[in-house]
């Protein structure tokens, strides 16, 4: 097992998930529920499933797209989201 990659992945996902909408939803559900343990296990299962889909899809896509193209597509997608956040009025 590549422990450095495991640690980097953990830190990256942990920081990315702090304060996002799913965490805020879990806080709201946990605070208003009689069964916070069910909210915990439900949110853990959802994050595991979403991460699994991302890893499997990424592995498949990386099989036929060069790494540079894949990184470029990801960068372009993030740039589009940033521009949308800047110019879309609420």
Q: What is the pLDDT of residue 22?
A: 85
Q: What is the pLDDT of residue 24?
A: 87
Nearest partner of 10 among 46, 51, 42, 40, judged by Cα: 51
pLDDT digits (tens, 9 = 90+) for 3-60: 999 999 899 888 888 878 888 888 999 999 899 999 999 999 999 999 999 899 988 9
Collapsing DSSP to helix, strand or coil, 89 comes out as coil
Q: Which long-range contacts (CB under 8 A, 24 or more apart) does 34-42 make?
A: none
Q: Domain span at residue 50?
A: 3-87
Q: What is the pLDDT of residue 37?
A: 93
Domains contained in the chain, number: 1
Dist CA 22 CA 14 (whole Å): 13
- Global confidence as pTM: 0.66
Q: What is the pLDDT of residue 90?
A: 61
């Amino acid at each position: 097992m590549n422990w450095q990659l495991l640690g980097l992945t953990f830190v990256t996902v942990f920081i990315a998930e702090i304060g996002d909408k799913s965490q805020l939803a879990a806080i709201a559900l946990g605070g208003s529920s009689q069964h916070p343990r069910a909210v915990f296990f439900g949110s853990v299962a959802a994050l595991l499933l979403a991460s699994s889909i991302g890893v499997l899809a990424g592995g498949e896509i990386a099989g036929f797209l060069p790494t540079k193209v894949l990184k470029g597509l990801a960068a372009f997608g993030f740039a589009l989201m940033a521009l949308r956040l800047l110019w879309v009025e609420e």
